[in-house]
Structure 1
């Protein structure tokens, strides 16, 4: 059997996205992906209910995305209650949009899955930081986005904040109360039911039983806490189908109501609501009146947008692995960003605190008020608007990456580089590969080959994912000066970690250690070369009928059809950048001198690599 390096996740393609070159009839091609047209900006007039439909379609939900959504919001089986016997069938993005368009025209929705999406059985909650000040027009746009989320089953618990508020000034609590009522009024004008919760629901300081508690990943504990009976008002509002809106106030040790920062309120709510949700999990009876208090999302809506990234020339990070990247982002935060994005780091810290207490599948999103439709895509797919593992030139050259592109944040997992086979946990790695590829590994042959050829391995978390890269000597006809081939032998993610960002985290680390090496934005602290060295062309192969090849097309420089296989590669970026800079406006040629003949050498070499699998 041929040993192919495959990403072990289902294809993300939908019927509306399958406009790819036919690799079976082309010997060589480079790919640039097309995109669905964007709807008008939310601040523009004339927005209709069809924007709700278009937002769902634009999120391009895959079969896995739809299934994951239904697992969170669809019917649940309860031992004492008979639920529907219908078996949900995941929809493609095109099918979903067709069903939703029927609903928009007020015609009956016959597909049960579409009906469940539009009328979810389980209501889940999201913590929302509404970080103004916003104009009436801006607030109206935000409210419309939150109403759309409620249609999909996600009810917001809103805590307001103003960047120009000064703590301790006279009348600060009255200003906060006035803003709460303004938000409530705006929500109701968009068809939602909202309730102002003006009393204090959090208390300053950690709870006495939690003072010595250690949080995962050393994340700081919230500066406030919530007792179970403090959540009565929020629970009552949610049960009544109302969106609770809270001011940033808390009770101090003398039971006085004082205004504090909204981050402290939200941190306390994230921990308290997650705990309350876990305690009441067994009592959920699966009816539409039930509300799971466990926060499913954290949404930070502001004027700044996401966290700026030095790797994207100040444009936002797309996906952040808080466990692995939090310190590095803080250390590389450019001084000019303290003016343009003054609350980015504090919001980053807020996401770190909240996600430490929220379920592992939860995520946080930092989004500009100009992009409320992004919240819908995030709810359905739990993914960033653009994949962080796409090539930088593709991301920044197609106009899709803008200052208003949201930043998605996940709790994530540590990512480390291993250079010796002795440092690999063979039992865990074998389990990962076999569960991902659904095949039996020929362990003796595989690890014997790694002893001889291993270049490096990238491990995500406790073997939630791994990328195995070997150094392959080129054939004798390649010449004595030919460089070893950097070959991606395995790329695998456990099924339970597919869709949680691990794939992108791994591929970005792979970029930094191979074809992106030497660039400033490859200097990530993962225990590898940290950006020091010369980039190397990365080569791998996949079966021509592998459905995940679309994912490869988008990330590779090119591909070559070789029999029943497709060979992919990524060019060393630093080498090309240096040459391009030297030539100026002339630019690069189609094939550089050092690239001549390399495809035939690569194809012949990797075709001789033995299979890693048992029969």
Structure 2
């Protein structure tokens, strides 16, 4: 994009200079032809000298133009090399390029010729111009010079716009440096193919502004600060769009006014997006009845924009043709892809009391939403107890998602009739430590609602404004203890990889620590609370460890088998064979594992899974005695992910987290071929490894060091040496 802009700018300068040169040439020639007289001479006259001078200047200008193109191409190459360098794997970089590279135009044979002067410029921000990064730049469509060009009868198909919906909370608390850093990051996202729509949330409380005569001026001021911050980046522009949010005012049965918001002037939103300009939208709505300005919550604005950009119909007006509306929405869905919700909140990501980091690194909304919500509500309950609030009839909840306007504000009950967040103590509505969980609940519920509207490929990212403003300066961030790495901007990294900055299944000890003026800082304290969320998939565990923990089998009691009606054996076998790329001897495998299965973990519709067993160490009798049961080793027999789901979607992380946190929190062991490319992933998540001498296997375990003794280590080694593979090719050692 930068290359195109520079080339266009240089081209205009050359054209302008050429016109001036021709005009000068005509004036000089006209003065030498007084009264129609013509002079002929074989000597070099002024006209000849002028032509040579003009030719030299023209060649110089063309040289400068080519130089500018080369410099712009080098700048583009450096930029994309730097940002793609933050991608963890080549597969992720390839996936990003395939998704965000603009579609090629239709075949030239099917296109009518277009006059070059009337040819529209490509829309900025709707694709990635990689310049010379993957080869020399080439003009895909050369202009055709014809005497009578035909007129276009159809609108040319634009590349699909990839859009991120950004909610910026409390910008009034940010200084200009941080705000400019956010503007620079959003501009870089635009260069990488993801154009933003920014909702500025400058409200102090949980509800829209109270009776404040200057509320609209405050909203406009903060929105203009965001515009100036993006304009200051010099890479893309921003525009204040403050008149597109409409409000249906209807009396509700509860006796108060509801404000369901919607987008009224769609073209005012889409026009800047098509030009690569970032719309900045304050929380100002306009009544459909009185046409007066109304303060609306940022959550309602975000949901209204989500429905509009996703192509979902709002309330159909009586005078609208349903067919026209359907065609309009279908065209919008083809033109726009709302890929991400980004919430920049001073509080950062969603906290979690059961996570070592103190917050959710990755939220699988399908599986973890209710637990995360209950965790926040429990903290609010404790805060209320500390504030000496009477316990009777006390309940904290979020509005019913099925209501017509469930996200206007958070509702809280304290032993009385329903009241809004305004009834809370003032210090609990300004985002301090105690009221933070209320904002977290709002953010969590907003993420759930937005992702439920969008396709499964969409995602959400919650982080702090400070983290979004960082430009990748060197910092002592360490992953897997492999030395210092460049500090990653979570927004840029998430765009390139569709993953969090570090894996959710990565132990905190693998992140390393930082050093401050006060001394060493723990990994949990040094990591910024950033949460990456997806609609995700369900994780089913047989048997359910929440009902009863997994224990070694007891003789005479029923045990789980792979032929259990709750397990689809055919799909499980297909999953294993697709993941390993080998045929399984199903009958032999069933004979080996049935009777010692500890449990099965299934992700989604058999997109991934793990099969765990109880194994007897060599030399130990399997007689069901307490001694033999105490020595049984929890063993990860199969860990499989469909090839199409490998490296994306966090399927492997979901399974591994379920295994080590829910099923075997005290440790599990497994083995892998020494040449297995997945070993790097295993190394980062295990607590110890051992290359088994004389074999082609590496042993991994997650058992805490304090629980690891010599006998347990020998039992682990014996089991890993003794397991016989059950592949159809009957190859025992895969070296």
1:328-343 to structure 2, matched below 5 A, reads 328-333=371-376, 334-335=379-380, 338-340=434-436, 342-343=438-439
Q: TM-score, normalised by structure 2?
A: 0.60
Query: Which residue of the partner structure matches residue 557 of structure 1?
Result: 687
Structure 2 residue runs of 5 or longer lacking an equivalent are 1-74, 111-129, 140-157, 251-257, 314-325, 384-432, 469-488, 515-521, 544-559
Query: How far apart in 2 are the matches of 1:283 and 1:352?
Result: 26
Does residue 238 (structure 1) correspond to residue 273 (structure 2)? The answer is yes
Query: Which residue of the partner structure matches residue 493 of structure 1?
Result: 641
Greater displacement, 547-556 / 507-516:
507-516
Query: How far apart in 1 are the matches of 2:224 and 2:588?
Result: 68
Compared CA separation, residues 571 and 494, structure 1 to 2 (3 A): closer
Deviations 1:252-298 (A, max 9, x none): 452544221111111221222112699789879xxxxx994221111
Compared CA separation, residues 276 and 571, structure 1 to 2 (3 A): closer
Q: Is the 8 A contact 2:76 2:133 kept in 1?
A: no
Query: Which residue of the partner structure matches residue 258 of structure 1?
Result: 294
SS at structure 2 position matched to 1:168: coil
Query: How far apart in 1 are the matches of 2:266 and 2:570?
Result: 45
Query: Which residue of the partner structure matches residue 569 of structure 1?
Result: 700
Query: Which residue of the partner structure matches residue 56 of structure 1?
Result: 83
Query: Which residue, 191, 210, 213 being the options, matches 1:168?
Result: 210
Residue 251 of structure 1, CA deviation: 4.2
Compared CA separation, residues 571 and 195, structure 1 to 2 (3 A): closer
Greater displacement, 543-552 / 403-412:
403-412
Does residue 124 (structure 1) correspond to residue 140 (structure 2)? The answer is no
Query: Which residue, 315, 322, 340 being the options, matches 2:365?
Result: 322
Query: Which residue, 584, 587, 612 being the options, matches 1:441?
Result: 584
Query: How far apart in 2 are the matches of 1:441 and 1:570?
Result: 25
SS at structure 1 position matched to 2:197: strand
Residue 156 of structure 1, CA deviation: 0.4
Query: Which residue of the partner structure matches residue 519 of structure 1?
Result: none
Does residue 267 (structure 1) correspond to residue 267 (structure 2)? The answer is no
Query: Which residue of the partner structure matches residue 386 of structure 1?
Result: 502
1:376-415 to structure 2, matched below 5 A, reads 376-395=492-511, 397=513, 401=524, 402=526, 404-415=528-539
Query: How far apart in 2 are the matches of 1:406 and 1:503?
Result: 20
Q: Is the 8 A contact 1:306 1:366 kept in 2?
A: yes
RMSD over aligned Cα, in angstroms? 3.6
SS at structure 2 position matched to 1:275: coil
Compared CA separation, residues 255 and 65, structure 1 to 2 (3 A): farther
1:219-230 to structure 2, matched below 5 A, reads 224=260, 226=262, 230=265
Query: Which residue of the partner structure matches residue 154 of structure 2?
Result: none
Q: Is the 8 A contact 2:459 2:535 kept in 1?
A: yes
Q: Is the 8 A contact 1:316 1:403 kept in 2?
A: no
Compared CA separation, residues 113 and 183, structure 1 to 2 (3 A): farther
Query: Which residue of the partner structure matches residue 428 of structure 2?
Result: none
Residue 488 of structure 1, CA deviation: 1.1
SS at structure 2 position matched to 1:463: coil
SS at structure 1 position matched to 2:310: helix
Q: Is the 8 A contact 1:124 1:296 kept in 2?
A: yes
Does residue 464 (structure 1) correspond to residue 607 (structure 2)? The answer is yes
Query: How far apart in 2 are the matches of 1:544 and 1:506?
Result: 22
Residue 303 of structure 1, CA deviation: 1.2
Query: How far apart in 1 are the matches of 2:138 and 2:339?
Result: 21
SS at structure 2 position matched to 1:458: strand
Query: Which residue, 329, 344, 347 being the options, matches 2:443?
Result: 347
Compared CA separation, residues 280 and 508, structure 1 to 2 (3 A): farther
Query: Which residue of the partner structure matches residue 69 of structure 1?
Result: 96
Q: Is the 8 A contact 2:615 2:719 kept in 1?
A: no
Greater displacement, 156-165 / 442-451:
442-451
Compared CA separation, residues 500 and 515, structure 1 to 2 (3 A): same
Q: TM-score, normalised by structure 1?
A: 0.71
Q: Is the 8 A contact 2:203 2:209 kept in 1?
A: no
Query: Which residue, 721, 731, 734 being the options, matches 1:604?
Result: 721
Query: Which residue, 562, 570, 573 being the options, matches 1:430?
Result: 573
Query: Which residue of the partner structure matches residue 157 of structure 1?
Result: 197
Does residue 369 (structure 1) correspond to residue 465 (structure 2)? The answer is yes
Structure 1 residue runs of 5 or longer lacking an equivalent are 1-47, 84-102, 207-221, 285-289, 517-534, 580-590
SS at structure 2 position matched to 1:466: strand
SS at structure 1 position matched to 2:669: strand
Residue 311 of structure 1, CA deviation: 2.7
Compared CA separation, residues 614 and 154, structure 1 to 2 (3 A): farther
Q: Is the 8 A contact 2:682 2:700 kept in 1?
A: no
Q: Is the 8 A contact 1:457 1:467 kept in 2?
A: yes
Query: Which residue, 165, 183, 192 being the options, matches 2:226?
Result: 183
SS at structure 1 position matched to 2:245: coil
Query: How far apart in 2 are the matches of 1:493 and 1:323?
Result: 19
Of structures 1 and 2, the one scoring higher in RCO (CA 8 A, sep 6+) is: 1
Compared CA separation, residues 250 and 443, structure 1 to 2 (3 A): farther
Query: Which residue of the partner structure matches residue 587 of structure 1?
Result: none
* Matched length: 487
SS at structure 2 position matched to 1:507: helix
Residue 414 of structure 1, CA deviation: 1.4
Query: How far apart in 1 are the matches of 2:272 and 2:712?
Result: 65
Query: How far apart in 1 are the matches of 2:202 and 2:691?
Result: 57
Query: How far apart in 2 are the matches of 1:124 and 1:501?
Result: 22
Query: Which residue of the partner structure matches residue 7 of structure 2?
Result: none
SS at structure 2 position matched to 1:343: helix
Query: How far apart in 1 are the matches of 2:716 and 2:540?
Result: 31
Compared CA separation, residues 596 and 314, structure 1 to 2 (3 A): closer
Does residue 539 (structure 1) correspond to residue 669 (structure 2)? The answer is yes
Compared CA separation, residues 56 and 121, structure 1 to 2 (3 A): farther
Does residue 111 (structure 1) correspond to residue 134 (structure 2)? The answer is yes
Greater displacement, 292-301 / 245-254:
245-254
